[in-house]
Amino acid sequence: MLWRVAATFIVICCSGCATFRELPPETRAEEIAWQSLNVVDAAQTLSIAQDPDCYEETLSNPFIGKHPPTGLVLIWAAGASALHFVVTDYLVQHTSPGIVRLWEGVTIASSGFWVAHNYAIGVRIFSHNEPHVGQCGEEK
């Protein structure tokens, strides 16, 4: 089930890939890096939502809840994907390359941090999560 959901999400995100060609090459690479991290983060969020006894969504909790349904996670991730691209495209058209680099750098670093954090606490995509010591009453 999770595999089909992730595949659907990837197709949704990749449907806008043709417009990536309009970005400068360095910005295109950065945008693809962020979009890739967004896909991984969405898959991790789906994994969190399917393991309600051990994990809960914290970062986007005010918007999608602690244990969001699959559809809401996909809508949230697709919306974030579209919004990030729109902001990036706007910055490319209306600001300096330095501002674009700053935007991409901050958002890539932030997303990378949360993906690494989720992995560090035991969140796994396409397999069973691995609770860390003291979590869910389990000891390693």
* Percent over 90 (pLDDT), the chain: 41
Tell me the C-alpha distance between 70 and 45, whole Å: 9
* Amino acid occupying residue 127: S
The pLDDT of residue 41 is 92
pTM reported for the whole predicted model: 0.78
Residue 115 tokens, joined: 């993906």
- Report the chain's C-alpha Rg in angstroms: 16
With a CB cutoff of 8 Å and minimum separation 6, the contacts of 99 are 91
* Spans of the chain below 70 pLDDT: 1-21, 59-61, 132-140
